[in-house]
Amino acid sequence: MNPRFLRRDFDPVAARRLQESGIPAALARALAARGVATEADLQLRTREIHAPAALTHVALAGRLLADAIGQGQRLLVVADYDCDGATACAVAVRGLRALGANVDFLVPNRFETGYGLTPEVVDLALRHRAGKPDWIITVDNGIASIEGVDRANELGIAVLVTDHHLPGDRLPAARAIVNPNQPGCGFPSKNLAGVGVMFYVLMQLRAELRARGRFTEATQPRLDALLDLVALGTVADLVRLDRNNRILVQAGLERIRRGACHPGILALFRIAGREARKAVASDLGFALGPRINAAGRLTDMTVGIECLLADDFDRADQLALRLDEINRERRRIESAMQADAEVALAGADAQASGSEFRRTITLHREDWHQGVVGLIASRIKERHHRPTIAFACADGDWLRGSGRSIEGVHLRDVLDRVTKTHPGLIAKFGGHAMAAGLTIPQSALAAFTEAFEAAVRETTDPALYAPTLVTDGPLAAEDLTPTLVQAIDGIVWGQGFPQPLFADEFEILDQRILKDAHLQLTVKLGERRLRAMWFRHIETLPPRARLAYRPVFDEYQGVARISLFIERREG
């Protein structure tokens, strides 16, 4: 379904001010549209990040951890199974060890023990390597782990929850909870990833230990050495890149570019065919993140965490190679599942016009992989512009689903509405506006499909389902300069602060399909001929087409030239 293009509004005064500071006009307009008022707003200095003090319970967490370290207690980090969880775990383990802690980690297999700190995970902790821990520290999970924390408390294990997900009606009975999204927390940035939350806990712990005389400012461990991991987890988790997060990501990218990063990060860059010395945020999101995520999707995240914890370059290379192999298998499974999904949707009314068109898509096949249904939901949502939930079979008679939504449809709120209007239909759920997970009985699939559709229909405007794409408007051919591309590449872009996307009408001079998967084009803008690529798209274009695109450098035989990455076609 091709969208209608809209142009992003911008402040002309701010755009003019930015242009006068030396920023190319097209980029100045794009930055002004994203709330950047002056060139100084682009100076991302690490010393300007928000202080930890505003995080609820962070001071308590620092004192509790300092006490535990002083008493030689055993700490066990329990991680989530995605890239944010893996990097948060690596940051926790590396940082706590540097600060003198006796710490190990456990990453559960979500297919066996469920999501978060479940009672089953706590029982695993009792048998984990060094035996019963004194403390469990959750990273990127735990805010919904009521039963798991209760189980730990019964066994005499103290729990510190560090998380960033939205809480439910009840909070777990942990000794401390550090989460910027918990009720009453006044931390200015609600967009920290799980890895960012853990990094802040370490900053507070270091300050506490310094106050206790464990070390001085001159002798204290350097936590900035962890910023490459913080950057990776922040970008990969698609949290909003507000200014605070952009500072963290920029600092991490700078370390990667100068080679001052961990062996596992460098190994992942090599296996992905990317140059670390030229690292940009998109490398983290599209090259490194998926390779780590693949481990959690198909097996468990242990190999991903071990890669990020490796200090030996050969070991890091071996683990990165294993992650790459797992990711290739993930791609194969995803491709087959997506083909299944499109066949199931063919002839359905998901795209039908009129007042009775279906506003949601619910999919299930018995042979689908639990770890990949989220990717399928995302692909189908993008293609059909409908809130989409894809289910796979779980243990017993359960289905485990993963959903993705469109702007204007808060997926977690919709699922909450379903639980209230149809009690018992959903066994458990969690998530946020754009993504959520849930578990339902297999026998309830048909009923859930209709209840989900009804909940969305009752709470959303039909106008939301006419797809649109917001762009930064047209470029003149003479605007497509190396200076513009270099300036764009020098800025941290990501969720909530998107890279500029321009839109123009092109004459299509030549087009051919590469590897049965991608469309290679020669296009004309004004009097200028340009190469263009539309990845994962094989439908040819008419002689003229209005396209949304990003200008990039395309290196050929050592020479960098400007080409276009096509994103969408209008209408």
Give the residue among 233, 297, 240, 302 at the shortest CA–CA distance from 265.
233
Task: Please name the residues in contact with 230: beta carbons below 8 A apart, sequence gap of 6 or more.
Answer: 87, 91, 195, 196, 199, 248, 249, 251, 252
83 contacts: CB under 8 Å, gap ≥ 6: 232, 233, 236, 237, 288, 289, 292, 293, 296, 304
Q: How far apart are CA 523 and CA 465, in angstroms?
A: 31
Q: For residue 181, give the nearest of 167, 161, 199 by alpha carbon.
A: 167
Chain length of the chain: 571
| pLDDT tens by residue, 185-225 | 999 999 999 999 999 999 999 999 999 999 999 999 999 99
Q: CA 560, 562, 567, 571: dihedral to nearest 10 degrees?
A: -160
Pairwise CA distance, residues 81 & 99, whole Å: 25
Beta bridge partners of 551: 564
CB 64 within 8 A of CB 160: yes
- Read off the tokens for 515: 């590897």
Q: Burial level of 416, CB count in 10 A (0-12/13-18/19+)?
A: middle
The confidence score (pLDDT) of residue 274 equals 96
Distance, in Å, from the CA atom of 216 to the CA atom of 36, rounded to the nearest integer, reads 38
* Rounded average pLDDT per 10-residue block, the chain, 571 residues: 93 97 97 96 95 97 98 96 96 98 91 87 91 96 96 98 92 98 96 97 98 96 98 95 97 97 98 96 96 93 97 98 97 95 74 65 95 95 94 92 94 95 93 89 97 95 91 96 94 94 98 94 96 94 97 80 96 83
Q: What is the pLDDT of residue 507?
A: 98
Coil, strand or helix: which one is 391? Answer: strand
**Residues 475, 7: Cα–Cα separation, whole Å:** 12
- DSSP label at residue 408: T
Rounded Cα gap, residues 212 and 78, in angstroms: 27
Reduce the DSSP state of residue 524 to 3 states and report it. strand
Q: Under CATH, which architecture does the 51-325 domain have?
A: Alpha-Beta Complex (3.90)
Tell me, yes or no, if the two domains 4-41+469-569 and 51-325 fold the same way.
no
- Which pLDDT belongs to residue 349? 47
Six-digit token pair at 321? 């190679």
DSSP secondary structure letter of residue 288: I
Write out the H or E segment, with its range, that includes residue 544. Answer: strand 544-556
CATH topology (fold) of 4-41+469-569: OB fold (Dihydrolipoamide Acetyltransferase, E2P) (2.40.50)
Where do the domains of the chain lie?
Answer: 4-41+469-569, 51-325, 347-465
Q: How far is CA 298 from the centre of its chain?
A: 18
Q: Which CATH architecture has domain 347-465?
A: Roll (3.10)
The β-bridge relationship of strands 502-514 and 528-534 is: unpaired
Contact 187, 54 (CB under 8 A): yes
Q: Which residue's structure tokens are 């243990």?
A: 395
SS3 (DSSP) at 312 = coil
Give this prediction's pTM: 0.92
User: What pLDDT was estimated at residue 352?
Assistant: 45
Query: Which helix (H) or strand (E) covers residue 521, if one does?
Result: strand 518-525
Q: What are the phi and psi torsion angles at 216 (to 5°)?
A: -105, 175
Q: With CA atoms as reference, report the closest residue to 318 among 329, 307, 331.
A: 307
CA–CA distance, 474 with 29 (Å, rounded to integer): 11
| Number of helical (H) and strand (E) elements in the chain, helices listed first | 19, 17
